[in-house]
Structure 1
Amino acid sequence: MNHRLAISTISLGWHASHTLERKLAAAAAAGFQGVEMFITDLDGYATTHGITRVQAAEDIKRLCAQRNLEIVCLGSFDNFEGHPTRSLEERLQIAREWIAMADGLGTDVIQVPSNDDKDAVGDIDTVVADLQALADLGLRQESTAIAGLPVKFAYEALGWATHVADWEESLRVVERVARPNFGLCLDTYHVLARLWADPRSPTGRRPGGDAALRMSLETFRARFTDPATTVSSTAQTPIVYVQLSDAERLAPPILPGHAAYSEHQDGVHSWCRYGRLFPLERARGAYLPVLDVARTWLKDSGWTDGWVSMEVFHRDMEREGSGPEHWAERGRRSWEELVKRLDEE
């Protein structure tokens, strides 16, 4: 395994005192090689310094360079495909600003989660056509900050998305889009919360979850693993990067009366921001079979040398005392434990 390790800036704290400068310093001190730049952190920096988003991106690029941090991507560019009211040209105009921000940051990747608007258009031809237009925009507007490379889009299936909620579905979309700059972002939380776990159940488990997960991993191995060779991730697969996280088993579960419950939101969505943890943090209640997924995605497959990013959300991130240094150190320890466990097998 020769993966490079990153962490999302949103996973380093949410309190006003958790400034982006402090987050970047904490990530570098903990030994991370890169960061996912979350749009709220970029916007917060721009507001604090009274500058535009693109100017903020250029500043942040310098801050990261000073700390030897690479910016893996800019995310997340939400609810693009199948938008129920905004025209495609309006959406592409917004995308142009995102491309300019990515260029300012010095990254060639923008993360695009699948649409979770309840009114989103689900017609596959519309979804594909919209995303082809986005990818074509990225192909035309090459990034000057990164040696004229096309802008890439990493499409992630959200576990609560309206139409594309499984990684297999997102792969089918990627294959239909059929553009060299349009690939996958895979996230252990969204796969396991969709197939195996249930935060609304007292057991924390979905009936049939083991079989569903086993089938999903078998599908992944069949699609991405060449038993005869070890291949480079960038040459052979549409995977752009992978996100890792675990989650806390909740007692009581997310039902009416729970602090995280919302009658307007899927339980998996509510759990996402309430109780995600770094992989294998068993002492803190983590219980998802992340190791099984990581083994398949990072060790057994041909995807052996790409970016792996820690992306977690937790209610404690709002606390001033749980600062970026705390989360960065936990993230690094989690990765080291996961690598150790995989190496021992």
Structure 2
Amino acid sequence: MRSFQPAILSASLGRAWLHEFANKAKQASEYGFQGIEVFYEDLEYEAKRLHSVETPSNDQILDAASHIRELLDGLKLTVIGLQPFLFYEGLKDREQHARLIEKIKLWFKIAQILGTNTIQIPANFLPADQLTGDMDVIVGDLVELADLGMKEDPPIRFAYEALCWSTHVDTWEKSWEVAQKVDRPNFGLCLDTFNIAGRVWGDPASPTGKTPNADEDLKESLERLVKEVTLDKVFYIQVVDAERMETPLIKGHPFHVDGNPARMNWSRNARAYMYETDRGAYLPVEDIAKVLIHDMGYKGYVSMELFSRTMAEEGEDVPKQHAERGIAAWKKFVERLRLNDV
């Protein structure tokens, strides 16, 4: 087996309310993807479709997972993870915390059916008034999850990802601090070139599209990444870019949503695959990927995790177009980083 295999997020091929999972998976397989991240939304909509219900029961969700697994096995697609387990750590509302502990037990069953041992957790981005910034609480919540995951057979791993707009954990540095304090073998990181670059280097609300000291700050951040993060804690990586905004993403911009951080609105509407300069891609994501692969020695699945307004477009060709764009980026990535030589 090659050292690197291309993967894609199921939602990156089209949103579930418009595009059936079967077609998305077929396109991913036909274009050469070997792995897939299953977006929970796809399970929900597959369950709705299979059972003609608006709100699927847990059993119906599990049935949808079985259906999806059978489909993916036939297409020789491996599920590399289930995501996103949202809004979990650091909640002030401890009753909601208890509800999420019950929910994760369902996710364990789903993961087992899908044949994956990895659940991805985005660092919490609920409004600050709903969260505590107390590191002891954040870490304690994640230890609780990791310990539950260890009891599963096989054990479940958690890939924690700092989003560039998360409320308290918005850099890889902060996510690494959390992972070290959690200190469990099944708790590690998902490192995403967009979320790294989009915090330290990129700024969609700035007229320049960049932070004030972008190049130097990124250089120093990547030097720290190589020096501090151990490879065994990098569970998988996501490689994706984003569009440079023609005008600052502030009030009045078509992507602006009141109450949402600019980087959230940017991420949801305007990511691009790597090398899509014709679509405005401009972040130094190749530099970050080189550090992850050449300097840190990462090997394994590389996920092309796109979020974009284009995923919510109608038309049968949408999954095909996104799979085609994604694999074109992958092929250029392999060539530019000489992955066949690694």
TM-score range with shorter-chain normalisation?
over 0.9
Contact 1:224 1:302 in 2 (8 A): no
| Alignment map for 1:62-73 (pairs within 5 Å) | 62-73=70-81
2:100 is the alignment partner of 1:91? yes
SS in 1 for 2:100: helix
Distance 2:99 2:314 in 1: 38
Contact 1:15 1:319 in 2 (8 A): no
| Alignment map for 1:152-163 (pairs within 5 Å) | 152-163=157-168
| Alignment map for 1:123-134 (pairs within 5 Å) | 123-134=134-145
Q: Structure 2 length as normaliser, TM-score?
A: 0.92
Contact 1:116 1:162 in 2 (8 A): yes
- The residue aligned with 2:15 is 14
Q: 1:78 aligns with which of 63, 71, 86?
A: 86
String of CA shifts for 1:36-81, please: whole Å, max 9, x gaps: 0000011110111116111111111111000000001100000111
Displacement of 1:137 in angstroms is: 0.5
Contact 1:246 1:279 in 2 (8 A): yes
Cα RMSD of the aligned pairs, angstroms, is 1.6
| Alignment map for 1:155-304 (pairs within 5 Å) | 155-224=160-229, 236-303=231-298
Gaps of 5+ in 1: 143-148, 226-235
Q: Structure 1 length as normaliser, TM-score?
A: 0.92
Distance 2:135 2:302 in 1: 29
SS in 1 for 2:94: coil
Change (3 A) 1:123 1:224: closer
- Count of aligned pairs: 328
Letter of the structure 2 residue corresponding to residue 199 of structure 1: P
- The residue aligned with 1:332 is 327
Which 4+ runs in 1 deviate beyond 6 A? Answer: none
SS in 1 for 2:251: coil
Gaps of 5+ in 2: none
Distance 2:47 2:109 in 1: 14
Taking every aligned residue pair, what percent have the same amino acid on both sides?
A: 40
Distance 1:9 1:190 in 2: 19
SS in 1 for 2:6: strand
Displacement of 1:222 in angstroms is: 1.2
Distance 1:237 1:169 in 2: 18
Contact 1:15 1:320 in 2 (8 A): no
Distance 1:46 1:15 in 2: 11
Displacement of 1:17 in angstroms is: 4.1
Distance 2:113 2:89 in 1: 24
- The residue aligned with 1:229 is none
Displacement of 1:86 in angstroms is: 3.5
